[in-house]
Amino acid sequence: MHDSRPFGDFAPSGLTRWVIDRTRGLPEGWAGRRLALMLRHLAMKMLKGLPLDLETFGVRMRLYPYKNVCERRILFTPQYFDADELRILTSKVRDGFTFIDVGSNVGWYALFLAREAGPDVSIRILAVEPQPEIFDRLIYNIRQNPSCTIKAVDCAVADKTGELTLFLDPLNRGEASLKIVNSSQTDAIRVPAVTLLDLLNREGLTRVDAIKLDVEGAEDLVLDPFFRDAPASLHPSIFIVANVPERWQIDVVKLLKDRGYRQILETKMNLVFERS
């Protein structure tokens, strides 16, 4: 559960602090990642369910690494966390830049991008997260970074607007989907949902620069109606899409390429497309 006590009450110390400092300093590569995993396993045994407050690349966050893979990655190895994807995004930032983070989790992409832009560059960021527990953590993290102008939206993005069932993985609270994607998913909640086009229209957006879409295998459900109904003026210059083709019923890569996008990056986690 989310704890609303002041930031800093859960600052890491002792051996936990030492492990975090070591894992965050490890280089890219197989050996570095293996050592990071071993050290992380050691630290997790010592944490006893408490959150941790710390700054990561200038972003203040309260992290609960126990049943959320995203928060574990931010806590122990942020240097590996979608570094190429974030580099592409930050290279595009300018005054008026608009970024939509669909499936924001606890806000890493949104907060990192806002921090990189700095106070002198005017950008607009929407962080969209449907799961109530994770949304509370997202709100808390945004509030710890008052210079970052981010609007949090608590809904799912789907193929229709209304109330839908969201399936949760009890072993990874950050993994919530409109599809049942594995046998461990036993929890389900009802949440409000909107189409991507409805979301943009409700926010009064007439253009978008970049969208990250990480909805745990439902990317095809979101993109198919968007490209069918949205005017070309709302098609973003950059799309970052979770790399889970085995979960799609529609070929998302082909869909994007047919709409004038070219793939500029493929990682284990994501595919990045740029509009020609």
User: Is the Cα torsion angle 251, 256, 260, 261 positive or negative in sign?
Assistant: negative
Put residue 72 in one of left, alpha, beta given phi > 0 → left and psi -120 to 50 → alpha. alpha
pLDDT at res. 96: 95
For the chain, which residues make up each domain, given as ranges? 14-78, 83-275
Mean pLDDT of 135-164: 95
Element (H, E) at 96: none
Using CB atoms within 10 Å of the CB of residue 32, give its burial: 0 to 12 exposed, 13 to 18 middle, 19+ buried. middle
What is the structure's pLDDT at 123?
Answer: 95
**Among the four given CATH numbers 3.40.190.10, 3.40.50.150, 3.40.190.290, 3.40.50.170, the one describing domain 83-275:** 3.40.50.150
DSSP character string of 186-240: -EEEEEEEEEHHHHHHHTT-S--SEEEE--TT-HHHHHHHHHHHS-GGGS-SEEE
**What's the whole-number average pLDDT of the chain?**
93
Name the one residue in this structure whose structure tokens are 């990874």.
172
Q: What is the pLDDT of residues 164-207, one digit of tens each?
A: 999 888 888 777 788 765 555 568 899 999 999 999 999 999 99
Rounded Cα distance, 60 and 58, in Å: 7
pLDDT above 90 (res 28): no
DSSP string, 98-115: EEEEET-TTSHHHHHHHH
pLDDT of 149 strictly over 80: yes
pLDDT average, residue stretch 205-226: 96
pLDDT exceeds cutoff 90 at 23: yes
pTM exceeds 0.85: yes
Q: How far apart are CA 145 and CA 34, in angstroms?
A: 32
